[in-house]
A and B are shown apart, each in its own frame.
Chain A
Amino acid sequence: MAQIILENLSHSYLPNPSKDEDWALKPMTLTWEDGGAYALLGSSGCGKSTLLNIISGLLRPSRGRVLFGDRDMTGLSTMERNIAQVFQFPVVYDTMSVRDNLAFPLRNRGLPQDQVAARVAEVAEMIGMRDMLDRRARGLTADAKQKISLGRGMVRQDVNAILFDEPLTVIDPHMKWELRTQLKDLHRRFGHTMIYVTHDQTEALTFADQVVVMYDGRVVQAGTPQALFDAPEHTFVGYFIGSPGMNLMDARIEGATAHIEGVQLPLAHGYGALEGKTQLGIRPEFLRLGTGQEGLPYTIRRIEDVGHHRIVRGHVGKADVNVIVPEGQPIPADANRVLPDPVHAHVYLDDWRVAPSNLERAA
Chain B
Amino acid sequence: MTLELRAVGKSVGGKVHLHPTDLVMQPGSMNVLLGPTLAGKTTLMRLMAGLERPTEGQMLWNGKDVTGQRVQDRKVAMVYQQFINYPSMSVYDNIASPLRLMGAARGEIDRRVRETAEMMRLTPMLERRPLELSGGQQQRCALARALVKDAGLVLLDEPLANLDYKLREELRVEIPRIFEESGAIFVYATTEPEEALLLGGNTATLWEGRVTQFGPTPRVYRAPRDAVTARVFSDPPMNFSTVRLSNKHAAIGQAEWQADLADGEYLAGFRAAHLSLDQTAGTLPLTAVLESVEITGAQTFLHLRHGPDSWVGLVDGVQRRELGQELTVWLDPAHIYLFTPEGDLARTATYAAAA
Contact = CB atoms under 8 A, between A and B. Distances in A.
Contacts of B298: 229, 242, 283, 285
Contact of A206 (B166, B192, B273, B295): B295
Contacts of B165: 199-202
Given A177-B236, A177-B237, A184-B292, A230 B194 contact: no
B167 A241 contact: no
- Chain B CB count within 10 A is highest, among A188, A307, A328, for A307
Contacts of B294: 180-181, 184, 205-207
8 contacts: A172-B37, A201-B165, A206-B294, A206-B296, A230-B297, A306-B197, A307-B194, A307-B271
B303 A172 contact: no
B296 A173 contact: no
Nearest to B236: A177
Contacts of A173: 36, 191-193, 235
Interface in B278-327: 292, 294-298, 301, 303, 312, 314, 318, 323
A161 to B, nearest CB: 21
Contacts of B167: 43
A201 to B, nearest CB: 6
A281 B15 CA distance: 55
B292 A185 contact: yes
Nearest to A45: B134
A240 B274 CA distance: 26
A307 B200 CA distance: 11
B169 interface: yes
B337 interface: no
- Chain A CB count within 10 A is highest, among B164, B192, B236, B318, for B164
Contacts of A184: 292, 294
Given A181-B292, A225-B318, 5 more contacts: A43-B164, A177-B312, A188-B323, A206-B294, A244-B169
B191 A172 contact: yes
Interface string A59-99: 00000000000000000000000000000000000000000
Interface string A314-345: 00000000000001100000000000000000
Contacts of A44: 134-135, 164
B221 interface: yes
Interface residues of B, number: 40
B303 A226 contact: no
B199 to A, nearest CB: 9
B98 interface: no
B292 A304 contact: no
A202 B166 CA distance: 11
Contact of B173 (A45, A180, A313): A313
Interface string B167-180: 10100010010000
Interface of B: 36-37, 134-135, 164-167, 169, 173, 176, 191-194, 197-198, 200, 217-218, 221, 235-237, 271, 273-274, 292, 294-298, 301, 303, 312, 314, 318, 323, 351
A313 B37 CA distance: 31
Given A173-B192, A229-B298, A327-B273, A199 B164 contact: yes
Query: What are the 4 closest A-B residue pairs judged by CB atoms, nearest first?
Result: A229-B297, A308-B273, A206-B294, A199-B164
Interface in A226-244: 226, 228-230, 239-244
Contacts of B192: 173
A18 to B, nearest CB: 23
Contacts of B295: 205-206, 224-226
Main secondary structure of the interface of B (DSSP, over half): mixed
A172 B271 CA distance: 19
A180 B192 CA distance: 17
Contacts of A307: 193-194, 197, 221, 271, 273
Contact of B318 (A200, A226, A243, A283): A226
Given A188-B292, A307-B197, A205 B314 contact: no
Nearest to A205: B296
A109 interface: no
A206 B173 contact: no
Interface string A190-205: 0000000001111001
Given A230-B297, A243-B169, A308 B271 contact: yes
Contacts of B36: 172-174
Contact of B301 (A206, A240, A327): A206
B209 to A, nearest CB: 16
Contacts of A188: 292, 323
Contacts of A224: 295
Given A202-B296, A226-B297, A228-B297, A304 B197 contact: yes
Contacts of A43: 164, 166-167
A205 B297 contact: yes
Contacts of B198: 304, 306, 311
B231 to A, nearest CB: 8
A305 interface: yes
Given A43-B164, A313-B173, A181 B303 contact: yes
